[in-house]
Structures are given as structure tokens and as C-alpha cells.
């Protein structure tokens, strides 16, 4: 198998099905590109797409998609509950197979530049593609949102990486980045006390003094009458799944509460679970090249 | 990705490099077939090949390979330390991706029949492809070896599944089968006492009353001055890797000996390790379809 990159573009339309289909259609039936999933939220008025492909084919498909986005979406009329800075709001590239992060950063640069030039859009590079540390965090880049960017963009430190230093009134701005895949991982506790899940979440997550690449919150599972620590592992290579799991277990002990199970939501990179198996089995000198399927697909 | 089957043909030549290359060459440069590995042992006078491919392409490649094997290898002149019953000694088919065991059994039947008809070779189906329980175990089928088959084949219960009820003098007989992948898994113990590794091996393995799909023995690692329980997990779907690991750990406790590490030798199917991660993380309702790479490659 050749080089595979994942892209999860988010665009600012989650209500008009006809428009959504016209936009998503640009990712269908293209050689070297595969649409895996898309879901629209009408409260957020936003659609999240998951698409994979060979680098060059994927880049071209995303540019095609962008041209429909800028044709059909008008930010002057957009409202929705989710933060957004433009019609094509965020475009992260994620390495999946036989591709390095450096290559994804290069792709983010190329796509960002092309979006800027072709559609006259201010483009910011974020996460691993960011040129400065204050642009790494997407929330930081997007702060102020579409409406606030008319002022924000005038500041020297918020000069776009590509394109004009002026908001495109119809299309807004765009954030294009490169990052490792997210793992959505929840740990279920043998208690119905939400305050226990909340306290553990606060301890485990980065902002609370916990693990560097963990975001967490307490959630009540009404139907099962238990609570869970719901986590986003934003860099499973640096903060491993098993480490987050063991830390939740360790903190739950303080309350005499045991772990009844866990959930992995959506897609997870094979390496995140292989690495966990390696830890528990204490495997010495393992290489991902020993995975039969890697040999098949490489 | 399409259907992928693995085949690990073993042929009875491990010394004559020219012959070995001529035989292995039949698996090179073929659309839909990929030679992963081959290694020859001159004491055993035998070569083990690992090749994968799409079912039809792989079948054809194996038949091509067989024609060279029967051209170049003469069993009347063969000697070597490893048990063998023919020039093309064993041909197991293993499901790897998007393929069921039933499909591998069907492939074993087709390839077995073609080897029998094309090259006039008595063929026995073994492991999951076996027609009767006494043909499941390869050691049982091969018992008596090439030399003994001239008598063995006359017995009603050892009538071949395909081909003549008479040994092909030059080519011998062949065993063609279907099985799940082997996992070679060793657990290292914090002791230099080989008798401890031996006792644990005897308890963990099937013939000693242990786990159904585990073969095990004690091995001394001279350079590290420790011992290990060296295992073959012959069906990781039914006897999971973590279960063998935990059982070795449990038995080692009797001697106050801890596990210092483990090793996975050679290739391992992704599912064997994903399953282990699921166990330790107590993951609920996980599906292999959540593995990102599966979605990429499926």
C-alpha cells in the first residue's frame, strides 16, 4: 500500500442537505480518495467529514471541495452553536500510513497556500503545521470567530500565514493544519456520582496538572446509572492509551470505585492499541513491521 | 483492499541455492502476489516461504511453484533433519484479510486437487481442511515420513484425499491445509533455573492439561542468564495471547519468580494484539471496523 493521509475538513453548513451533498460529492468517485464518513449537526450548523487518500489525490480533492464550499456558503448569513472562523473552517491532515508528520505539514502548507491564492482567503496554519507556538492551539487561532476576525486580522501577530491580511467577507478565514489522530476514550466507573467522574477528569487532564495530551470531563450515563470519565487523547504517541486508563483507575481508588469498562469511540489508529498490548504483555523489542497486516498493506 | 490469503509452503531443498532461487522465483513479480520472506536451513535441508496474495492469484502462483518443485527436487536423494513426506512438503493457507476460514479451506481443496492431478501426487488435507479428525494434526499425517509412506498409503485410513493411492517416487506426498496464523510468543522469567521454565511450560501447554491451543517448552537464554517459556499459540482466536501470558505469570508466582518481559517472534496478526489491548483496557463493544487502518485498507 502506498502513502495514506487522513483529512477531517469541517465546513460551516449543517442544515441545507442539498448544499451539504453538493460539497461532499467532490470527495466521491475519485481515484486514490475514499470518503469514510460525514455527519452534519444542525444546532452547530456544521458538517464534519472524514476522508482518506494518497497525498496528491487527497490535496486535489480538498481543493475541489473548497471551491464548492466558497461557492455555496455565505458567512454573512451563518449562525450556529460551534465556534467557526470561516466557510471552510478547519482542515487538519493526519498521517495514517507510510507518511510522516513532516509530509503532512508540507501538505497543509500546499493546501493552505492554494486555498489562499485560488479563493482569496486568509489562511492560518495550526497544530503541528503552526509557524509559532501561539498558533498551535486551534481554539487560540479561532478565538473571536468570524465576526471578530475583521479586527483580529489587523494585528501584526495575527497576520495570516497565506493570503490577504483582510477577511474574505463571504468565505471568512480558514485554519489548515497537521496533527496526529485523536483517540476518543471513555472509562466507565462503578458509581452514579457524577462528582467522582468530574474530580478524576480534572486530575487526569492536562489543564488540571495531569497528562500532557489528555482532555477530559465527567459524563453521566443515564441509562446505565453510572458515570464515566470521557477523554480525548490528542496525541496517543506521547500520552499512551494505557497510561490514561491506569491513571483513571488509580484516582478512582481514592473513592473505592472500580472501573467497569471502557469505550473507544469512532476510529482508532492500530498503533494506539498495539502499543497498549505491548505494555501489558511487557513485550521487548517489538516492531510494527511484525504486524502481518502491515506487511500485507505496506 | 481486497481478500488476502497467506501461504507458507515448505519444500524439501535447503542447500542448493540455485534450485531454491528457481523455485522461489515463481512467486516474484506476479500481479496480486507478494513474497514476504523465505529462509533455508541446510541441516533441515528445507526452505520455508511466506507469501501473500489475492486468492486466485496466490493459488496460481503456488501451482507454478509446485511445478518447479517437482521438476528440481528428487525425494529419493533427499536427506535432512526435519520430518518431511514430499518435495512440496506442506502448503498451509491462512486467512489474513476479508477472507474466512471456509474460503481458505476451499482454496486448500482446489490447490490440493490440482497438485494431485497435474503432478500425480497423493495429497492429504490437514488442520482445518482435514476431512477427519486424525488428519487434523500435521505430525500425525506426516508420521512415517517419505520413506514410510510406501507402506502407510496402502492402509484404508490413509487413502489420500486427492491423487493416486501410491507414492510418487520422485515427488513423495504433500499435505495441503488451512489454519489460523501461529503466534510465536515467549515469556522471560527472572530466574536462571531451567527447571522452573520447564515446569511452567508443561502446565500451560495443552498436552499437560493447560490451554487448548498452546504448545510450550522451557528455554535457557544463555547470554542473559535467564530462562523463558517459549510458546506457539496455534489458535490465538480461541486461546488469546493475554491468557497464555497471565497463566505463565500465575504459575511463576509459585516459585516467587516474576516476569521480566516477553517476545513476539516474527509476524503477528493485528487482531491478536488488539484483542489483548481490549482485555486489559476492559473495552466494551469494540469492533475491528474501528481500526483506522482497516478502513483504509478494506
Preferred mutation among B95, B283, B289, B290 to probe A, highest tally of A CBs within 10 A: B283
A137 pLDDT exceeds 70? yes
Alpha carbon of B188: minimum distance to chain A alpha carbons (Å):
10
Mean pLDDT of the region A181-202? 96
**Residue A58: predicted pLDDT:** 97
B201 pLDDT exceeds 70? yes
Do A293 and B270 count as a contact with CB atoms less than 8 A apart? Answer: yes
B136-186 pLDDT per residue, tens: 989 899 999 999 999 999 999 999 999 999 999 999 999 999 998 889 899
Mean pLDDT of the region A245-253? 98
Report how many helices (DSSP H) and strands (DSSP E) chain A contains, helices first: 9, 11
Name chain B contacts of A286, Cβ cutoff 8 Å: 264
Task: Give the span between the Cα atoms of A296 and B194, in whole angstroms.
Answer: 38
Task: Give the span between the Cα atoms of A63 and A287, in whole angstroms.
Answer: 36
B106-131 pLDDT per residue, tens: 999 999 999 999 999 999 999 999 99
Q: Using CB atoms, which residue from B6, B262, B284 is nearest to A281?
A: B262
Label each residue of A254-291 as H, E or C: HHCCCEEEEEEECCECHHHHHHHHHHHHCECCCCHHHE
**Residue B266: predicted pLDDT:** 81
On whether the CB atoms of residues B54 and B2 are closer than 8 A, the answer is: yes
Query: Is this prediction's pTM over 0.95?
Result: no
B1 pLDDT exceeds 70? no
Residue A189 pairs with which residues in a beta bridge? A227, A259
Residue B5 pairs with which residues in a beta bridge? B53, B95
Do B293 and A282 count as a contact with CB atoms less than 8 A apart? Answer: no
A29-86 pLDDT per residue, tens: 999 999 988 988 888 899 999 999 999 999 999 999 999 999 999 999 999 888 899 9
Do A1 and B6 count as a contact with CB atoms less than 8 A apart? Answer: no
Between B119 and A182, name the one with better pLDDT: B119
Name chain B contacts of A293, Cβ cutoff 8 Å: 96-97, 269-270, 293, 297
Q: State what percent of residues in chain A have pLDDT above 70.
A: 99
Closest CA to B185 of B248, B139, B134: B248
Do A261 and B241 count as a contact with CB atoms less than 8 A apart? Answer: no
Mean pLDDT of the region A14-40? 95
Lowest-pLDDT choice from A250-259, B54-63, B157-166, B180-189:
B180-189
On whether the CB atoms of residues A176 and A126 are closer than 8 A, the answer is: yes
Name chain B contacts of A262, Cβ cutoff 8 Å: 281-284
The chain A residues in contact with chain B (CB within 8 A) are: 1, 4, 6, 34, 36, 52, 96-97, 181, 188, 241-242, 245, 259-264, 266-270, 273-274, 276-278, 280-286, 290-297
What are the residues whose beta carbons fall under 8 Å from the beta carbon of B96, sequence distance 6 or more? A292, A293, A296, B4, B5, B6, B52, B181, B269
**Residue B244: predicted pLDDT:** 98
Closest CA to A231 of A211, A251, A256: A211
**Residue B44: predicted pLDDT:** 87
Q: At what angle do helices B270-281 and A270-281 cross, to 10 degrees?
A: 70
- Mean pLDDT, chain B, rounded, equals 94
Whether the predicted interface score ipTM is above 0.85: no
**Residue B294: predicted pLDDT:** 82
Do B293 and A293 count as a contact with CB atoms less than 8 A apart? Answer: yes
A1 pLDDT exceeds 60? no
Amino acid at each position: 500500500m502506498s502513502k495514506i493521509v487522513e483529512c477531517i475538513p469541517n465546513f460551516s453548513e449543517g442544515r441545507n442537505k442539498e448544499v451539504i451533498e453538493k460539497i461532499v460529492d467532490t470527495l466521491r468517485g475519485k481515484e486514490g480518495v475514499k470518503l469514510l464518513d460525514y455527519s452534519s449537526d444542525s444546532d452547530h450548523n456544521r458538517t464534519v467529514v472524514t476522508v482518506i487518500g494518497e497525498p496528491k489525490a487527497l490535496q486535489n480533492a480538498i481543493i475541489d471541495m473548497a471551491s464548492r464550499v466558497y461557492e455555496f456558503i455565505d458567512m454573512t448569513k451563518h449562525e450556529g452553536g460551534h465556534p467557526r472562523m470561516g466557510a471552510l473552517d478547519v482542515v487538519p491532515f493526519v498521517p495514517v500510513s507510510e507518511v510522516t508528520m513532516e509530509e503532512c505539514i508540507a501538505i497543509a502548507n500546499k493546501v493552505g497556500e492554494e486555498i489562499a491564492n485560488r479563493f482569496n482567503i486568509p489562511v492560518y496554519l495550526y497544530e503541528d503545521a503552526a509557524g509559532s507556538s501561539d498558533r498551535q492551539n486551534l481554539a487560540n487561532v479561532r478565538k473571536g470567530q468570524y465576526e471578530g476576525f475583521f479586527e483580529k486580522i489587523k494585528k501584526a501577530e495575527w497576520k495570516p500565514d497565506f493570503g490577504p491580511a483582510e477577511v474574505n467577507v463571504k468565505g471568512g478565514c480558514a485554519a489548515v493544519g497537521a496533527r496526529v489522530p485523536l483517540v476518543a476514550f471513555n472509562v466507565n466507573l462503578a458509581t452514579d456520582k457524577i462528582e467522582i467522574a468530574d474530580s478524576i477528569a480534572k486530575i487526569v487532564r492536562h489543564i488540571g496538572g495531569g497528562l500532557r495530551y489528555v482532555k477530559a470531563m465527567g459524563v453521566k450515563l443515564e441509562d446505565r446509572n453510572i458515570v464515566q470519565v470521557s477523554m480525548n487523547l490528542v496525541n496517543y504517541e506521547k500520552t499512551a492509551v494505557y497510561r490514561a486508563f491506569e491513571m483513571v483507575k488509580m484516582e478512582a481508588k481514592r473513592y473505592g470505585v472500580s472501573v467497569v469498562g471502557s469505550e473507544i469511540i469512532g476510529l482508532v489508529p492500530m498503533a494506539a492499541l498495539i502499543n497498549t498490548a505491548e505494555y501489558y504483555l511487557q513485550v521487548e523489542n517489538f516492531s510494527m513491521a511484525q504486524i502481518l497486516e502491515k506487511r500485507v498493506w505496506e
